[in-house]
Structure 1
């Protein structure tokens, strides 16, 4: 195909209007008006079959997933095609306005088993009670574009003990935790009958709402997020989502702009608020445990959760040849930050298909051909292409690649 003499292309992603998204960050970044006041939650860049990106070529606009199927060697390269059979990552921009569900992602082996089991019993792929949409694992990394808040893993043992000791409503849980550790504690609260959940949590929610009203809460406290959950619903505190327990049991993490958090299989987590760049394996497998109207499968969640306390690790990125690389312990993807000003340049060679998204400023990528991109735009660089990035003024961009 004649257009393949070019190796660098503009890439147009797809917006996902999930209910938890914000209304201004992504439209403003894309330079669009949000006339209908829709939530703009995610902007997807990749070849996921449910929302593939489009590549702008001299032959017109073509779908990235089709191009990879038709020209795997040219687009992703022989090695990646052999190992993964597809572009193994999905790149996103997120604007988290409302809290996301408590979730865990399975390992690759468990995803393959779960997918096969649901196929065998004939659960339709688009059924709301389907857990496994594909056979892949879904490790993910996020880099904060603003101050970003999330829940990430269980608190270390001594911190969780303090939580259970100091919150009167959790008094009966302290002994259970000492006797049966993380799994016993979490399984207990996740399997409680709803009336018992309400009995424990209602007085606690009411107490937190009073603290918020008198200005006694800050974002590093569980009560802040509990109040956010009940914002505008203060008069109907019933059928309380058992995900509230997780807000107290998990680490509350604040990532500053440019800091990253990696979430491997089994680590329970939930995004709370802010904007980020997210990169994940090309999968849609999510096991949910609350804070959501979507399907929650407690037994499946418990089966795949890592029950241990962790100290969250915030990655600052490692300076390597003019980019900051955030090292992730998976073969599916890598992510780096490219920040240039004035006459600075960056040179690279695409090990597989690379996607570069411009967060702010503008850049020119020059190789076999030359393409300019500004804030809100993205570029795809084909496997094997050597290229140089320059800017007329300044640029902040993130690059997704296969290590």
Structure 2
């Protein structure tokens, strides 16, 4: 049985996506924009298609039929499925502010909503499965995101410099992050509009005139309003833009999002690797369901100092691994020149995708040639090598540690 297979993912057309990046990567005609995400994995909602000796087969079905040999016995025993989902994202408009639950809380919340009889596809459903959803991203372009609460002194400075929000300083200083966030999130639509409309009236003309810098929360707050379909009720997520760190990641830099850290992707392209879950508690910048009471149970109300990771270059000088505490996945970047040979042993299942150049992946007598945007699935206990017919090739690899 082969251990190396061509793999084709699935495109997701979410409203916040771009028009050209993913079609250009995959060498397809852009006929149905927006193109937000390209999924590689065995998620039941959009499983990748594996090309095997028996023809094409959905990856989830292939793994289920050969789970121990495909994933490796340790991963099969721990997770019972491919534990990660690998994605390419093109973020044109801001994603919703999100918090992910811990594994324990996901199990409790999923069981509770099942007992309540809430359908899995109900718009007010918080827990779609019983898994946590840590995630790591590596920027493919200049990438902007919100990530955790600003340190107190910096948050106080932002509120001071934003006259429409300066009244919140007293709450921050006397009652801390929890009461500050709770106060903002629990406001009625009328109260929120009364506070935020003067702010919007001041910053929107500056945004439209191109006078705001992306490091300034005014830029993203104005963009959120400018791109909203309904401006009659201002989004509660606007507060979070001023409360959270605004992070800029350069290509090749990574950020890890653990349970409890509020975050939102703002703009750019990235590679993302996450636990195989769809559990999202939303905090705004979205027309979707926001359960404030449930959200407040899971947010970590502490200052966050963003950790911009550069990855650890391995001894071969070719592979850079972005370490994280997540047991579900490990992400790495592999850069090859035409003179290089990348040698690896897949102890557990792996997915490779070529972002630039061309890769020849060889396992025994089998060779798979991957051009830009193409992918391969590698089963456990596979020794393989990769060379680059192109002058330079860049690949990303997902596996479970």
TM-score normalised by L of structure 1: 0.96
**For residue 295 of structure 2, what is the aligned residue in structure 1?**
301
**For residue 165 of structure 2, what is the aligned residue in structure 1?**
170
**For residue 398 of structure 2, what is the aligned residue in structure 1?**
400
Q: Which of 166, 176, 180 is the equivalent residue of 1:185? A: 180
Q: Distance in 1 between matches of 2:363 and 2:133?
A: 33
Q: Which of 378, 383, 391 is the equivalent residue of 2:380? A: 383
How far 1:213 sits from its partner (Å)?
4.1
Assess if the C-alpha contact under 8 Å between 1:202 and 1:238 holds in 2.
Answer: no
Q: Distance in 2 between matches of 1:180 and 1:388?
A: 57
Task: Give CA deviations for 1:325-384 in whole Å, capped at 9, x if unaligned.
Answer: 000111100000000012111111112110001111100111122111010100011100
How far 1:193 sits from its partner (Å)?
1.3
Q: Distance in 2 between matches of 1:232 and 1:162?
A: 27
Q: Which of 145, 149, 158 is the equivalent residue of 1:154? A: 149
Give the alignment's Cα RMSD to 1 decimal.
Answer: 1.2
How far 1:311 sits from its partner (Å)?
1.0
TM-score normalised by L of structure 2: 0.97
How far 1:237 sits from its partner (Å)?
4.3
How far 1:299 sits from its partner (Å)?
0.7
**For residue 350 of structure 1, what is the aligned residue in structure 2?**
346
Partner SS state of residue 247, structure 2: strand
How far 1:280 sits from its partner (Å)?
0.2
Q: Distance in 1 between matches of 2:129 and 2:363?
A: 36
Q: How does 1:84-233 map to 2 (within 5 A)?
A: 84-231=79-226
How far 1:258 sits from its partner (Å)?
0.5
Indicate yes or no: 2:234 matched with 1:240.
yes
Indicate yes or no: 2:256 matched with 1:262.
yes
Indicate yes or no: 2:17 matched with 1:21.
yes
How far 1:232 sits from its partner (Å)?
6.3
Structure 2, unaligned runs of 5 or more? none
Task: Give CA deviations for 1:33-67 in whole Å, capped at 9, x if unaligned.
Answer: 0134x211111101111111111112110111011
Q: Distance in 1 between matches of 2:374 and 2:166?
A: 52
Assess if the C-alpha contact under 8 Å between 1:150 and 1:270 holds in 2.
Answer: yes
Partner SS state of residue 9, structure 1: strand
Structure 1, unaligned runs of 5 or more? none
Indicate yes or no: 2:66 matched with 1:71.
yes
Task: Give CA deviations for 1:292-328 in whole Å, capped at 9, x if unaligned.
Answer: 0111111111100000111111101110132000001
Indicate yes or no: 2:27 matched with 1:31.
yes
Assess if the C-alpha contact under 8 Å between 1:351 and 1:401 holds in 2.
Answer: no
* CA shift in 2, pair 1:233/1:299, >3 Å: closer
Assess if the C-alpha contact under 8 Å between 1:359 and 1:375 holds in 2.
Answer: yes
**For residue 10 of structure 1, what is the aligned residue in structure 2?**
6
Q: Distance in 2 between matches of 1:167 and 1:357?
A: 44
**For residue 317 of structure 1, what is the aligned residue in structure 2?**
311
Q: Distance in 2 between matches of 1:251 and 1:199?
A: 25
